[in-house]
Amino acid sequence: MTTDATSTQDLVYDDLTRDPREVIAGLRSALQRGEPWPSALLAAVRRWRVPHELVDGRHYYYLIGGEAFDWLLLAERLLDAVADLVNEADRAALIDHGRLPDGYGAEVFRKAIGPAKHRAQLNFFYGVTVEEALQLSVEEDVHKEIRCRAWGGLDPRYDETAFQRIYLKPREELLAMFRAERGLPTGEAITFAELREFTYWLFKYRLRQCDPAKVAADTRRGLTQLAKLDAIRCRRPTTSTDESPADVIDVLF
């Protein structure tokens, strides 16, 4: 991570508090003063320092693998806390469709949340969102092949065949490797949070183990699939897909 003056100031600002109640109180105060909700929200995201929470029985895991920042999950948590001050349609546009209002493009977003969180958000975008899209794209191909083969010849479990093609190993073996590395218990059940961790682990595994040309082709494929899904939803992506994959970094929450 760079240590220029701007980055240092950002890190000092980010260290102002570790108490979620203070961040939420600051967000509420800014909205009550009339600050536009996107600016107030992004400032709160920048100040946030807690990697996970349990709120009203729900677990929120904002930081995956210590490196990938699910900023939309945090945005949902913050906007729920000030639901009386933000229009529901605006909230839905962001949480359901990843859409900020006009005037809050990629550069504004990057500066608003700070360099560390922006890098971590890119880690999440490429390591979870794009990785999930890549898996879906290959699963769709497998599905089409199975439908076209009268005599079978492919594992009818689309995800298993897709994992073999993307990661060159069976899903069960990869999941066992992931759990062994993290010291997690074995078993068939997997929680949503663990699945997100596993997906990010698979992204890093693919970068380490696969041929660079295959890594690049698979990443482009994931981006293309994601663009198709975005078009279907009539959604404007919040992160430009023409950016090169960010290096994996450690984010100090």
Angstrom distance (rounded) from CA 245 to CA 40:
28
Burial class for 113, CB neighbours closer than 10 Å (0-12, 13-18, 19+)? buried
Predicted pLDDT of residue 151:
53
Q: What is the pLDDT of residues 136-146, one digit of tens each?
A: 999 988 888 77
Angstrom distance (rounded) from CA 213 to CA 211:
5
Q: Which of the four pLDDT bands, split at 50, 70 and 90, describes residue 128?
A: very high
Mean pLDDT of 213-239: 81
199 near 127, Cβ under 8 Å? Answer: yes
The number of residues making up the chain comes to 253
Detail the DSSP E strand segments found in the chain. 52-55, 58-61, 63-64, 68-69
Q: Which of the four pLDDT bands, split at 50, 70 and 90, describes residue 11?
A: very low
Q: Which of the four pLDDT bands, split at 50, 70 and 90, describes residue 79?
A: very high
